[in-house]
């Protein structure tokens, strides 16, 4: 039975961070009952095309999905269990902020069925939390992390690095603090200033490229030495705690997207469909899917499995890639190829977008 994931997008936030370029709506009067009813209808719609698949993960992302009332999270999870066969160890993740302002939030989320909690901390000092527009301080973050670790067996935090004027010694201090917290996964994202964001409008510039690359290389070595091997360009965890939901994306497996701004990929009757809100489907060509598989697969440290690639898009890997460029990038130390796989080297991870552009 083929694997399937479900992504539930909750686009609503109480405030918007100045670096954020995701689709979000800042509002407090959200008609939750009505929206959840629509989500259940959309799940029923996609069930018609995926009855032969096994749910291995559900991910509540956002926005701020911890704002969803726990009874509605429970309702969605129960609906999924009724509709599909589900893996016994199904991973059910939710993103939350440290300052939920709701008593017993984490225990309520666990009771509703969440078994993996991802906390959006972003920085481990008050100065940078304020700069990033976060509405929590370090004390609140540490208190929430402690509650999450006590409540859930599987958990992660997000941090943003390469902030303007950030130094490597400062980042080393934060990373040292992070590995001492006892988390199962650490996710690290380089700050980019995207067009249209508050940061862009203010003219804030990202950290110089060479300094950011130095931070990334240090981070990879430091986390590996402290029990957090890199398994994807931004994610660090031992194998048993790697996010199964995100692995679905990176490995090119099917997933359903529910909610505004959510998208999905569904294979049905030998054809590949891209889905967007609400219930919009578009057939992808094998070539379009092949390019997506390269974009996603090279993010993984294990790289692209050529057999899996062919199964997912119907094209042999070696028939799709630019062989001359591939050979050149191997000879210059950016890529490593075996008969069964292609993966980026540590040098290649620093210029991943360029590699993808050249071999596609």
Calculate mean pLDDT across residues 198-217.
92
Q: Is 228 helix (H, G, I), strand (E, B) or coil?
A: coil
Calculate mean pLDDT across residues 320-337.
96
Q: How far is CA 340 from CA 313, 324, 343, 353, in A?
A: 16, 19, 10, 22
Helical axes 244-251 vs 286-297, angle rounded to 10°: 130
Q: Are strands 263-268 and 271-276 parallel, antiparallel or unpaired?
A: antiparallel
Give yes or no for residue 254 having a pLDDT over 70: yes
Rounded Cα distance, 352 and 125, in Å: 30
Give yes or no for residue 327 having a pLDDT over 70: yes
Tell me the average pLDDT of the chain: 95
Instruction: Say if residues 5 and 57 touch (Cβ distance below 8 Å).
Output: yes
Q: Is 126 helix (H, G, I), strand (E, B) or coil?
A: helix
Instruction: Say if residues 18 and 70 touch (Cβ distance below 8 Å).
Output: no
Calculate mean pLDDT across residues 168-185.
97
In this predicted model, what pLDDT tens digit does every residue of 19-74 receive, in sequence order? 887 877 888 889 999 999 999 999 999 999 999 999 999 999 999 999 999 999 99
CB-based burial of residue 358 (10 Å sphere; 0-12 exposed, 13-18 middle, 19+ buried)?
middle
Domains of the chain: 2-246 (3.20.20.70), 287-360 (1.10.10.920)
| Both tokens assigned to 305 | 């499995």
Residue 174 is predicted with a pLDDT of 96
Residue 100 is predicted with a pLDDT of 63
Q: Where are the alpha helices (DSSP H) in 234-280?
A: 244-251
Q: Is 209 helix (H, G, I), strand (E, B) or coil?
A: helix
Residue 98 is predicted with a pLDDT of 92
Rounded Cα distance, 16 and 47, in Å: 33
């Amino acid at each position: 039975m083929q694997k399937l994931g479900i992504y539930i997008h909750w686009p609503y936030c109480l405030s918007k961070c100045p670096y954020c370029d995701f689709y979000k709506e800042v509002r407090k009067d959200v008609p939750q009952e009505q929206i959840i009813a629509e989500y259940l209808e959309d799940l029923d719609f996609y069930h018609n095309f995926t009855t032969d698949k096994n749910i291995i993960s559900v991910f509540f992302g956002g926005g701020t999905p911890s704002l969803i009332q726990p009874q509605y999270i429970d309702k969605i999870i129960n609906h999924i269990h009724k509709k599909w066969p589900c893996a016994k160890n199904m991973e059910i993740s939710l993103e939350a902020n440290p300052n939920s302002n709701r008593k017993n939030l984490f225990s309520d989320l666990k009771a509703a069925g969440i078994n993996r909690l991802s906390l959006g901390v972003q920085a481990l000092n008050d100065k940078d939390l304020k700069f990033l527009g976060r509405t929590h301080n370090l004390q609140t973050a540490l208190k929430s992390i402690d509650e999450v670790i006590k409540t859930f067996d599987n958990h992660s935090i997000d941090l943003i690095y390469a902030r303007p004027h950030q130094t490597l010694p400062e980042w080393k201090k934060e990373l040292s603090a992070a590995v001492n917290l006892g988390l199962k996964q650490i996710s690290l994202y380089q700050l980019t200033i995207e067009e249209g964001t508050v940061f862009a409008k203010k003219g804030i510039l990202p950290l110089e490229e060479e300094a950011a690359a130095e931070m990334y290389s240090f981070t990879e070595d430091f986390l590996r030495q402290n029990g957090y091997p890199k398994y994807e360009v931004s994610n660090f965890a031992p194998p048993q705690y790697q996010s199964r939901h995100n692995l679905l994306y990176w490995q090119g497996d099917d997933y359903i997207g529910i909610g505004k701004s959510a998208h999905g990929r569904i294979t049905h009757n030998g054809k590949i469909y891209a889905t967007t809100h609400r219930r919009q489907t578009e057939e992808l060509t094998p070539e379009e899917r092949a390019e997506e598989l390269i974009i996603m697969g090279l993010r993984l440290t294990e790289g692209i499995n050529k057999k899996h690639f062919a199964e997912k898009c119907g094209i042999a890997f070696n028939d799709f890639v630019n062989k001359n460029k591939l050979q050149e990038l191997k000879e210059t130390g950016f890529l490593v190829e075996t008969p069964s796989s292609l993966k980026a080297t540590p040098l290649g991870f620093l210029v991943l977008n360029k590699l993808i552009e050249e071999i596609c």
